[in-house]
Structure 1
Amino acid sequence: MENKTRIHLADDHQVLMDGMKNLLHTVSNFEVVGFSTDGSTIFKDVTDNKSDILVLDISMPKKDGIEVVKEFYQKGFPCKVIILSSYDDLKIIKEVMKLGASGYLTKQCAGDSIVEAIHAVTNGEEYFCNTVREKIFNTATKDKSKVNKYRPSVNSLLTGREIEIITLIALEFSGKEISEHLFISNNTVETHRKNIMKKLKAKNTISLVKFALKNKLIKS
């Protein structure tokens, strides 16, 4: 029997939760096991129903999403957390990711991204929707005059995140700096680097810089 990913939804807008529930129920290995409309009981709820994933709105009554993530951080995470928010404020994103959240989506892109996000987080990855990822990347490179404003789709083998990692490597960001600027762990950066090297059959960092220049990710 297939093991299902157990999902708990936390949002104070019932219509949004109903819509998300209906969408998630179309995925055979997903099961929505609980709901919360305020933040005060979420830790107990997800512990009791043994959730694997919590999809959590930032703006919750009684205890907001940031406070909930802090509680998880202090008590030990009973499940992985994906933040769902109307805001793409980098200060908030950085705070919840440092506290241990595994993903961040805006409500505007949740319908297109929530299934992908849950799959990614279940597999141990960190996930940002395109809107958030673009904002993070643009902020990371805003003082770098050598980055091209428009980055083409250069290789069908590479993901958007991998293109960003290559660009930052070519701009001489260290692994630690990439981690800090993109709000991902050092382990995630290293995993991306290894995957990129394998996909491109690159032998070293110089090969990645040459790839970035050839594909106009950065200016020569």
Structure 2
Amino acid sequence: MNKKIRVHIADDHKILIEGLIAVINTEKSLSIKGYSLTGKQVVDWFDKKGNSADVLVLDITMPELDGFEVLKHFREQKINQKVIILSSYDDIKIVDEVLKLGASGYISKGNAGGHIIQAIKKVAAGEQYFSDDIQSLLLQKITGGKLPIGDAPEDFLFEKLTEREIKVLRLVTLEYNTSEIADQLNVSHHTVETHRRKLLKKLNVKSSVGLAMYAVKFKVV
């Protein structure tokens, strides 16, 4: 008797998880090994001794840790986990990034029902899998065709910030200097500068002015 493929699902919408579980349970060769509602729950689940899954179905935008951070955690901890990204966004930049971080597949949520079972089987077997719309984007990129503008929202990068980074962003916007921010947050100067560098990189801006513009746009101050 063939061993069942064990699947863990991570998404911050319980109703979507329940829908996926219902679809996956129609296939006898697959079995559900729990689910997570936040990125931190994913990391904690896989870090706990005895917990493992052949395939993780992972959302990008989740509380506490996003999908990128979960993939980075796996890489840093040398956890060789097969991952299928399930996302609302069809932006090629996001697809490229998760593939660089080790994901084996990418399915847009609108196509999940028709692809999830085949995707799990393919990825469990060591192959890559993409839903039709994502395959089209990748083909256009390879052939040099004009890529459509992705549907990642303008605040996508902003949503990737940690709670501490948002606090630093708020204080930078209020014109606090490094020493003052360090005092406010009770951290070292080095920690503040590290947060500042991460903010510049994540938000793709070059100065405190750019950070302030983001903060004002998304009503941080």
TM-score after normalising by structure 1: 0.62
Percent of aligned positions that are identical: 44
CA distance in 1, matches of 2:101, 2:141: 21
Q: Which runs of 5+ in 2 are unaligned?
A: 147-221
Q: Which amino acid aligns with 2:60?
A: I
The SS at the match of 1:109 is: helix
Q: How many residues align?
A: 144
Residue number in structure 1 paired with 2:182: none
Q: Which amino acid aligns with 1:83?
A: I
Q: Kindly name which structure, 1 or 2, has the bigger radius of gyration based on alpha carbons.
A: 2
2:107 to 69, 85, 105: 105
Contact 1:66 1:96 in 2 (8 A): yes
CA distance in 2, matches of 1:51, 1:105: 19
Residue number in structure 1 paired with 2:128: 126
Q: Give runs of ≥4 in structure 1 deviating > 6 Å.
A: none
Residue deviations 1:15-59 (CA, integer Å, cap 9, x gap): 100010011011111110111000013123135421111000001
1:109–1:3 CA distance, 2 compared to 1 (3 A): same
The SS at the match of 1:27 is: coil
Residue number in structure 2 paired with 1:216: none
Residue number in structure 1 paired with 2:9: 9
Whether 1:90 aligns to 2:92 is yes
RMSD, matched Cα: 1.5
Residue deviations 1:137-177 (CA, integer Å, cap 9, x gap): 11322359xxxxxxxxxxxxxxxxxxxxxxxxxxxxxxxxx
Whether 1:75 aligns to 2:80 is no
Q: Which runs of 5+ in 1 are unaligned?
A: 145-220
Q: Which amino acid aligns with 2:63?
A: P
The residue correspondences of 1:1-220 to structure 2 (distance < 5 A) are: 1-48=1-48, 49-142=51-144
The SS at the match of 1:72 is: helix
Contact 1:51 1:78 in 2 (8 A): no
